[in-house]
Amino acid sequence: MNHPRISIIAAIGQNRELGKKNDLIWRIPEDLKRVKELTTGHTIIMGLNTYNSIGRPLPNRVNIVISDKNKEIDGCIVASSLDEALDLAKQNEAEEIFIFGGARVYHDAIPLVTRLYLTLIKGTDTEADVFFPDYSNFTTTLKSEDFPDAEIPFTWVTLEK
């Protein structure tokens, strides 16, 4: 079995906000493009709520959805747990597995992850109802790129433990 890197990709607000009412808070076109560039050709693992908010499998990726309710989702592999999802992903993936959300999957996966690809949004949302877990033990910055003049200012960071 392969030993690919396990990474998280997420966009979060200044208070680690992830979403509200089962949807993203911010839609940043540059960020969606970056997500596509980073994850295309790789395996992504997401919870059922995240899959439902997207509404379809993302193309050119192996989509694994964690669900104890659905046994089949067209175009996806369904796993009953994060452990099963990771085992299935390791059978397919040579380089990197991306944890794609949502909050519960991030929380369960963060102890197993070695790299974070974060979009740090310069904003807050008091109506947020899901939050990203603490990531203060990811202390090594591999890359940081600031976009202060974007419609919604943000910074891309790549962090490792």
pLDDT of residue 24: 86
pLDDT at residue 1, rounded to an integer? 55
- Confidence (pLDDT) at 159: 98
- Domain chopping of the chain, boundaries: 5-160
HSE toward the beta carbon, residue 26, CA cutoff 13 A: 25
Looking at residue 2, its pLDDT comes to: 65
Fold of 5-160: Dihydrofolate Reductase, subunit A (3.40.430)
At 92 the pLDDT is 81
CA distances 54 to 2, 22, 24, 50, 144, Å, are: 29, 10, 10, 6, 27
pLDDT at 94: 76
DSSP-derived secondary structure letter, 21: T
What is 56-108 written as a DSSP string?
A: SPPTTSEEEEE-SS-S--TTSEEESSHHHHHHHHHHH-SSEEEEEE-HHHHHH
74-96: pLDDT as tens digits: 999 999 999 999 999 999 877 89
DSSP string for residues in 24-55: ES---HHHHHHHHHHHTTSEEEEEHHHHHHH-
Element (H, E) at 109: helix 103-109
Which pTM value belongs to this model?
Answer: 0.94
* pLDDT tens-place values along the chain, 161 residues long: 568 999 999 999 999 999 998 888 998 999 999 999 999 999 999 999 999 999 999 999 999 999 988 789 999 999 999 999 999 999 987 789 999 999 999 999 999 999 999 999 999 999 999 999 999 999 999 999 999 999 999 999 999 99
Strands 5-12 and 154-160: unpaired
